[in-house]
Amino acid sequence: MNFVFPLPQSAVPIAGSNALFPVRRIYCVGRNYAEHAKEMGFDARELPFFFCKPADAAVPVLPGTVGKIAFPPRTENLQHEIELVVAIGKAGGNIPVDQANAHVFGYAVGLDMTRRDLQFALRDKGRPWELGKAFDESAPISTLYPLSETGIIDKGGIWLKVNGQERQNSDIAKLIWSVPEIISNLSEYFMLAPGDLIFTGTPEGVGKVQKGDVLVGGIAGLGELSIEFV
Ligand code: MN
């Protein structure tokens, strides 16, 4: 049997090699830094919660290049969320916290781009967030850095500049739910599999971007991610 048409496999290049990490699913964690939860209007520590983006929302951007991202339609308030991305390399369900890092293939710098106006309108009506979160090219991502080279990342700076001005600046150590805790909790609900990406949440300082803006973000121990909205 043959497919009736070819379907490209979403993939993220692996730093320092010609290999590609095929993307199966993209999970995202909501409100996982206290100061960002506050700026979204929430104060209490909640269990982690998740939403998804389609695999082809990932737009890999090679180091030293500026990824051109199409400014999305139907929004007056497109916002940046710089995030540590965790790539899963080993399948599992009900993964204990103390074994979770064994499922990590590596890390990347990602942007959970958000049509905030649509997200809030949907949120306020109790509707799903897809139109606000899961649109085309909504997940720009750097190359992937294997854990075998970075070691476990549980602290270090995370930052984003827009047109050279600092917008977000925090530390991975301030994640409310740590990477192992996220993997453990998420794997109670879904079987995780190689190819899954998890966007782990954004620190405070999210804000609006416009066509023509250049965004540069980074995470200590990983590279940088640069994009321009066109
Ligand atoms: Mn986010």
> What is the side-by-side strand order in the sheet with 224-229?
67-69, 224-229, 214-219, 157-162, 165-171
Q: How far is the CA of 202 from the centre of ligand 1 (A)?
A: 5
pLDDT at residue 45 greater than cutoff 90:
no
Q: What is the pLDDT of residues 58-81, one digit of tens each?
A: 999 999 999 999 999 999 999 999
Q: What is the pLDDT of residues 134-175, one digit of tens each?
A: 999 999 999 999 999 999 999 999 999 999 999 999 999 999
pLDDT at residue 197 greater than cutoff 90:
yes
Q: How far is the CA of 7 from the centre of ligand 1 (A)?
A: 27
Q: How far is the CA of 15 from the centre of ligand 1 (A)?
A: 24
Q: How far is the CA of 37 from the centre of ligand 1 (A)?
A: 11
Domain annotation covers residue 51: yes
Q: How far is the CA of 112 from the centre of ligand 1 (A)?
A: 5
Q: How far is the CA of 77 from the centre of ligand 1 (A)?
A: 15
Q: How far is the CA of 82 from the centre of ligand 1 (A)?
A: 8
Q: How far is the CA of 11 from the centre of ligand 1 (A)?
A: 20
Domain annotation covers residue 24: yes
Q: What is the pLDDT of residues 74-117, one digit of tens each?
A: 999 999 999 999 999 999 999 999 999 999 999 999 999 999 99
pLDDT of residue 11: 98
Domain annotation covers residue 5: no
Q: Average pLDDT for residues 190-201, to the nearest whole number?
A: 98
Domain annotation covers residue 43: yes
Task: Enumerate residues 6+ apart whose C-beta is below 8 A from 99.
Answer: none
Q: Which residues have a beta carbon within 5 Å of ligand 1, which is an ion?
A: 81, 112, 202
Q: How far is the CA of 79 from the centre of ligand 1 (A)?
A: 10
Q: How far is the CA of 83 from the centre of ligand 1 (A)?
A: 7
Nearest alpha carbon to residue 33 among 152, 160, 194:
160
Task: For Cα atoms 192, 216, 224, give the angle at the middle one, nearest 5 degrees.
Answer: 55
The answer to whether 112 and 199 are in contact (CB under 8 A) is yes
Domain annotation covers residue 155: yes
Q: Which domain holds residue 192?
A: 11-229
pLDDT at residue 43 greater than cutoff 90:
no
pLDDT of residue 177: 96
For position 52, which CATH number holds?
3.90.850.10
Q: How far is the CA of 2 from the centre of ligand 1 (A)?
A: 38
Domain count along the chain:
1
Chain mean pLDDT for the chain: 97
Domain annotation covers residue 6: no
Q: Are strands 104-111 and 82-88 parallel, antiparallel or unpaired?
A: antiparallel
Q: How far is the CA of 6 from the centre of ligand 1 (A)?
A: 31
Report H helices in the chain.
Answer: 34-39, 116-124, 130-133, 147-150, 179-189
Domain annotation covers residue 4: no
Percent of the chain with pLDDT over 70: 100
Q: How far is the CA of 212 from the centre of ligand 1 (A)?
A: 22
In which region does residue 193 sit, left (phi positive, over 0), alpha (psi from -120 to 50) or beta (all else)?
A: beta
